[in-house]
Amino acid sequence: MRLAPWVPYGEAIQSTLVAKDVDLSKVVLSPILGADLASFRFK
C-alpha cells in the first residue's frame, strides 16, 4: 500500500434514457460530465 495510497473503489453507473428516434451509436458520453446533449442525432 505504500506505492498506491489511493485506490479506486467501485464504479460509476450512469444511464441515458432517450426516445427510440435517437441514434445511440452517435451519443457522446463523458465519465465526468455525462451525456453531451449536442451529440443527440435523430435516425
Residue 13 has pLDDT above 80, yes or no: no
Q: What is the mean pLDDT of residues 6-10?
A: 68
Residue 24: which residues within 8 A CB-CB, separation 6 or more?
Answer: 16, 18
Res. 16: pLDDT tops 60: yes
pLDDT over threshold 80, residue 24 = yes
List the grid coordinates of 39.
451529440
> Residue 25 above 80 pLDDT?
yes
